């Protein structure tokens, strides 16, 4: 999603304030905004109100090393890894059926 499409719209109401920032993080307030367009690309329609919960964001980009440490500590699996595992299982099933 590109943020140039996000617009503040008076027809959408609400701003929320989330958790307090921790070291090296900033609080991004939640709120409601109008997303999409009824006048441009078809995949942007329909324009609609979307609410986003408040969240914390690091002040600086996460390095590959930091992400690796996070994955090791939490066991986090990316969507790409899940998709790769599903594709591998489908391919294995198709191979066993073809035999």
pLDDT tens track for 26-69: 888 889 999 999 999 999 999 999 999 988 888 999 999 999 99
8 and 37 both lie in a single domain? yes
pLDDT confidence bin for 4, thresholds 50/70/90: very low
Residues shown for the chain:
99
Looking from the CA of 49 toward its CB, the CA atoms found within 13 Å total 10
**What whole-number distance in Å separates Cα of residue 29 and Cα of residue 51?**
11
Write out pLDDT tens, residues 10-20: 555 554 555 66
| Structural domain for 67, as ranges | 61-99
Overall number of domains in the chain: 2
15 and 49 both lie in a single domain? yes
């Amino acid at each position: 999603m590109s943020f140039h499409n996000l617009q503040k719209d008076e027809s959408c109401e609400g701003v929320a304030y989330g958790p307090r920032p921790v070291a090296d993080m900033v609080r991004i307030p939640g709120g409601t905004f109008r997303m999409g367009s009824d006048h441009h690309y078809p995949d942007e329609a329909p324009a609609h109100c979307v609410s986003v919960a408040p969240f914390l964001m690091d002040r600086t980009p996460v390095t590959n090393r930091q992400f690796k440490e996070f994955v090791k500590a939490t066991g986090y699996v990316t969507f790409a890894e899940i998709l790769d595992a599903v594709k591998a299982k489908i391919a294995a099933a198709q191979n066993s059926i073809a035999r």
